[in-house]
Structure 1
């Protein structure tokens, strides 16, 4: 899977997670927006579901719903 965050984005997410004081990592997903295709969704990951995949980038967990993986292939945040 080639979903990755730039080092700057990774540092910022880790900073926000530390400030928040909780969370397992970053949840990345997509939502269908009608005629325009898909939009990215970023949120805190507070739990990992049975249909989720956890990708590890250095010290950051990136949680993605299994069905979203093909749509996120090659994405850089």
Structure 2
């Protein structure tokens, strides 16, 4: 089951699975943060990479998304168009655990999965 969140005035939505919410909640509590910032930065062979950072103080250009009462995402304004409709999941593959981003705007990923491209 997923939770959909609408950010008023931006027509953007971000979805987090229950597993992603649980992991985010644990990390936010451990770091005594307000939430997590989702940003997209130029990187890698495909063009962009996702960056999650702890938010102690929101930045002026952040859009706040309340996923639950205790899980907040702060999305960088320049990244907002690139993450519209993204589902964030937390997965386990073998001994690795990580946040996985399912982004409908992504046109492709590099072979190692570290970066992605979009049609801007």
TM-score tier by shorter-chain length is: 0.7 to 0.9
Following superposition of structure 1 onto structure 2, how do residues 1-20 of structure 1 map, counting pairs within 5 Å? 1-20=12-31
- Which structure has the larger Rg over C-alpha atoms? 2
- Structure 1 or 2: more helix by fraction: 1
What displacement does 1:19 show?
Answer: 2.1
Q: Flag structure 1 segments of 5+ consecutive residues without an equivalent.
A: none
TM-score normalised by the chain length of structure 1: 0.88
**Unpaired segments ≥5 residues, structure 2:** 1-11, 89-120
RMSD of aligned residue pairs (Cα, Å): 1.3
Match of 2:57 among 47, 69, 76: 47
Greater relative CO (CA pairs within 8 A, separation 6+): 1
How many residues align? The count is 76
Structure 1 runs (4+) greater than 4 angstroms displaced: none
Residue equivalent to 2:68: 58
